[in-house]
């Protein structure tokens, strides 16, 4: 069964995709969690370097020590950008994150594509928009990668306390609550603060 629209949510690049689907009028509500693309013209250099380094490190570890990261120190080193509390991420989740970063196909092509662009024309979105960032997001820093001027005026900005770039690692219950509240137009309209 085909759907003309749906409640759309995504994290990081998925958050950018959610915004784009809203712009294309394919969303009933949009929830962008730590969305990429909210930079001026192209991705800041530090993001480009960090993503490439994460890929290289993950591939090395996956090949040489496929059962890592087991210790708190190694988890902290590999997940410091993704999690607000990297040492607390369960081992199986950390292992899957390293493995996925190492073997995901299309990583290089996707990264190159997103580096050269930014999200534009968000004013065309006419449904409730919730943009959420963790207070410990070390990937998308506020001065460089959280531009609000391309978001529609009805956008709401929400802080996820203690969470990193992938807040599902840190507080999955808070993320689930956010998704439920932001996909209900009545509550989405009062979440957080308006960007305008």
Q: Is-catalytic flag, 165? A: yes
33 bridge partner residues: 11, 132
What pLDDT, on a 0 to 100 scale, did the predictor assign at position 183?
A: 92
pLDDT at 196: 60
Q: Which of 165, 170, 171, 182 is catalytic?
A: 165
Strands 155-160 and 193-194, by their bridges, are antiparallel
126-135 burial string, b = 16+ CB within 10 Å, else e? ebbbbbbbbe
Q: What is the pLDDT of residue 190?
A: 80
E-assigned strand segments in the chain? 6-11, 27-33, 129-134, 155-160, 193-194
Interacting residues of 172 by C-beta distance below 8 A, sequence separation 6+: none
pLDDT at 192: 82
Residue 79's SS3 state is helix
Looking at the chain, the domain(s) classified CATH 3.40.50.1820 span: 6-41+119-194
Q: Which of 7, 12, 118, 155 is catalytic?
A: 12
DSSP state at residue 66: T
Which residues, including other chains, have CB under 8 Å from residue 111's CB and lie 6 or more apart? 48, 51, 52, 55
Burial category of 3 from C-beta neighbours within 10 Å (exposed 0-12, middle 13-18, buried 19 and up): exposed
CA distance 182 to 144: 25
pLDDT at 2: 72
Give the model's pLDDT for residue 186: 80
Measured over the CA atoms of residue 149, residue 144, residue 136 and residue 62, the dihedral's sign is: positive
What pLDDT does 154 receive?
A: 92
pTM of the model: 0.91
CA distances for 87 relative to 78, 121, 125, 131, angstroms: 10, 39, 38, 26
* CATH superfamily name and code, 6-41+119-194: Alpha/Beta hydrolase fold, catalytic domain (3.40.50.1820)
Residue numbers of the chain with a pLDDT score lower than 70: 1, 196
Q: Among this protein's residues, is 62 annotated catalytic? A: no
* Residues with Cβ within 8 Å of residue 117, at least 6 apart in sequence: 37, 42
Q: Of 58, 83, 137, 171, which residue is the catalytic one?
A: 137
pLDDT at 184: 87
Is 12 a residue of the active site? yes
């Amino acid at each position: 069964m085909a759907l003309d629209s749906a409640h759309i949510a995504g994290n990081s690049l998925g958050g950018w995709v959610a915004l784009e689907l809203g712009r294309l009028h394919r969303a009933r509500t949009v929830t962008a969690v730590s969305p990429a693309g909210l930079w001026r013209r192209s991705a800041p250099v530090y993001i480009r370097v960090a993503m490439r380094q994460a890929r290289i490190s993950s591939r090395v570890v996956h090949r040489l020590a496929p059962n890592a990261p087991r210790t708190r120190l190694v988890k902290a080193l590999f997940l410091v950008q993704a999690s607000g509390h990297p040492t607390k991420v369960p081992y199986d989740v950390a292992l899957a994150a390293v493995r996925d970063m190492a073997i995901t196909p299309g990583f290089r092509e996707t990264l190159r594509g997103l580096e050269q662009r930014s999200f534009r024309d968000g004013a065309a979105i006419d449904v409730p928009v919730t943009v959420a960032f963790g207070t410990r997001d070390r990937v998308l820093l506020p001065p460089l990668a959280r531009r609000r001027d391309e978001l529609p005026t009805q956008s709401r900005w929400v802080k996820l306390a203690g969470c990193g770039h992938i807040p599902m690692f840190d507080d999955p219950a808070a993320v689930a609550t956010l998704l439920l509240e932001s996909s209900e137009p009545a509550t989405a309209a009062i979440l957080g603060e308006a960007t305008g």
